[in-house]
Structure 1
Amino acid sequence: MLKILSPSMMCADYGCLKEEINRLEKAGATRFHIDIMDGSYVPNFGMGMQDTELICQIAQIPVEVHLMIKNPINYVERFIALGAKVIYIHPEADVHPVRTLLEIKKLGAVPGISINPGTSLESIKDILYYTESILVMTVNPGFAGQKFLKPVKNKVENLVALKKEMPLEIMIDGACSPEMIKDLWEMGADGFVLGTSALFGKKESYSDIINHLQAV
């Protein structure tokens, strides 16, 4: 079984984005990960709809969108229309997260939630029944280049145990170094969002890096 490896396109070289997409696909990337931020739910701005549309048009692999925004119900239809195949929302940012997850599924995409380091599993356990993928943040959302928060490992371990009760894909986002990927993969995680900790800005080729990450 192979790991799901999803390059974070916020870290890509936008001077040659089409070439970046082609190189990452040939290297064995599983999906592309797009971070959308509103400057309100998180104190920063990320990628936008035009970025999403362009990447979806070029990509031959699925695109997942991480909505770090308030009231995501107002935007899920637009992102799915652009071509997003997986949509992650933050339950804290939505008045009725179950309604939003059901809408995502109705529109033909995979409904997902993203949980912050400070989000307890108890607070989202009932929501998991409407979720097919969960994005576990190992850093506080909104900024790249943060350090992995070790207590999150306990949360991943508990989520892996819940997979016995419900079909649930567990993705990890934030400071995904090769060492951390190896550790959490062995613990039972299914995939990882790849940023500067493992993939971008390295001397090695994308192919060499992704092959190595699949092997660890």
Structure 2
Amino acid sequence: MPEVAGSLWSVAAGQQLEAIQRLQAAGLRRLHWDMTDGRFAKPGGFTASQALALTQATGLAAEAHIMAEDPTSDIDAWSEFCDLIVVHAESPRWAQAVDRISARGCIPGLAISPDTPAAVVPADMAVLCMSITPGTAGSAFNDAVLNKVSALRNASSERRIGLDGGVQRRHVERAVEAGADWFVVGTDLFLNDAVHVWNDILRPND
């Protein structure tokens, strides 16, 4: 069964804790925290301290997605409460960031933007495929990303492969067939009132 990580990028600050608790009651078990440096992607997302407070308030597992030209200086703060930290392959210092993530005892992952080819990702690394331009939450899912997912899965049968950007429940079956096993979902969980259509994934044993 694929895993869903909830992204609160588009949820207003005063509504975030309530939104998480509502989704937690529906079966959500993982939070996805986005951070940008305002250069690699437009300003938005969360600081590590903001994400830590909300994560601790709910007790859910957490992962971080750092959209920064140089993510290395941000690793330590996020590693305090995230088990997975994703940085971008388009960052010139992604390899140094991955080494730091591993040194901090977390799982490293590489995100790739829509125009970045699958071949840049080492076969032994978790990868998060962006269907939209980083930092443009709420944009529509681009089906072309499924070809990239297939290429990544063909290169490695073992690694974790995720999709991020405009993901809706109706995309899941085709994405799983392509090889995805991890979905970052924001709008369709938190803003579209579509939680009920995710029930079979959020609560697979009910």
Common fold by TM > 0.5 = yes
In structure 1, the residue matched to 2:169 is 178
In structure 1, the residue matched to 2:40 is 41
Change (3 A) 1:154 1:203: closer
Give me the whole-angstrom Cα distance separating, in 2, the residues matched to 1:64 and 1:86: 5
Give me the whole-angstrom Cα distance separating, in 2, the residues matched to 1:193 and 1:184: 12
Change (3 A) 1:16 1:145: closer
Please give the secondary structure, in 2, of the residue aligned with 1:84: coil
Give the partner amino acid of 2:171: M
**Contact map agreement 2:29 2:60 (CA 8 A) in 1:** yes
In structure 2, the residue matched to 1:202 is 192
In structure 1, the residue matched to 2:156 is 163
Shift of 1:3: 1.6
Give me the whole-angstrom Cα distance separating, in 2, the residues matched to 1:128 and 1:88: 15
Structure 2: where are the runs of 5+ without partners? none
Please give the secondary structure, in 1, of the residue aligned with 2:96: helix
Q: Which runs of 4+ in 1 moved over 6 A?
A: none
Please give the secondary structure, in 1, of the residue aligned with 2:198: helix
Shift of 1:170: 0.6
In structure 2, the residue matched to 1:86 is 84
Please give the secondary structure, in 2, of the residue aligned with 1:92: coil
Count of matched residue pairs? 203
**Contact map agreement 1:35 1:47 (CA 8 A) in 2:** yes
In structure 1, the residue matched to 2:5 is 6
Please give the secondary structure, in 1, of the residue aligned with 2:34: strand
Shift of 1:213: 4.9
TM-score, length-scaled by structure 2:
0.89
In structure 2, the residue matched to 1:142 is 135
In the TM superposition, what are the counterparts of 1:68-79 in structure 2 within 5 Å? Answer: 68-79=67-78
Shift of 1:93: 1.4
CA RMSD of the aligned region, Å? Answer: 1.9
In structure 1, the residue matched to 2:199 is 211
Give the partner amino acid of 1:169: R
TM-score, length-scaled by structure 1:
0.85
Change (3 A) 1:45 1:15: closer
| Structure 1 residue 102 corresponds to structure 2 residue 89 | no
Give the partner amino acid of 1:190: D
2:112 equivalent among 104, 112, 115: 115
Give the partner amino acid of 1:120: P
